[in-house]
């Protein structure tokens, strides 16, 4: 959804974490991730942990942006930029699937 409240096709695509060889644990408002497929270890900050949990069951970009706005009281542009960066980082590491 853009700042004016109009959703775009990209906003409505549903993303979910990859099922295979991906383990994670929540520790002190952060998420620790072990990707057994790529022998990769990752950690998130609290906002990343919140997005990660949502992606565990599936979420759209617009849902993730709205969640950041509500939970951290930030503006649309900041939430949108942060969400895009997080989704891009996960996609580049082959951790997301589109459902």
What are the domain boundaries of the chain?
9-98
Q: What pLDDT was estimated at residue 10? A: 73
Helix (H, G, I), strand (E, B) or coil at 48: helix
Report the sign of the C-alpha dihedral through residues 48, 53, 54, 58, in that order: positive
Angle at 86 between CA 33 and CA 14, to 5 degrees: 95
- If one counts every other C-beta atom within 10 angstroms of the C-beta of residue 62, the result is 19
**Res. 72 pLDDT band, cuts 50 70 90:** very high
d(CA 65, CA 82) in angstroms, rounded, equals: 8
Supply the CATH classification number for the domain 9-98.
3.90.930.60
Q: What is the pTM of this model?
A: 0.86
- Tell me whether strands 30-35 and 59-60 are parallel, antiparallel or unpaired: unpaired
Helix (H, G, I), strand (E, B) or coil at 36: coil
The answer on pLDDT for 1 being more than 80 is no
């Amino acid at each position: 959804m853009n700042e004016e409240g109009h959703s775009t096709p990209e906003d409505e695509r549903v993303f979910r974490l990859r099922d295979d060889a991906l383990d994670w644990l929540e520790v002190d408002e952060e998420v620790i991730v072990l990707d057994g497929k790529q022998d990769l270890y990752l950690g998130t900050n609290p906002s990343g942990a919140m997005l990660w949990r949502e992606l565990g069951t599936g979420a759209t970009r617009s849902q993730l942006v709205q969640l950041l706005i509500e939970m951290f009281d930030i503006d649309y542009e900041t939430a949108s930029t942060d969400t895009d960066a997080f989704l891009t980082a996960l996609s580049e590491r082959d951790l997301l699937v589109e459902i």
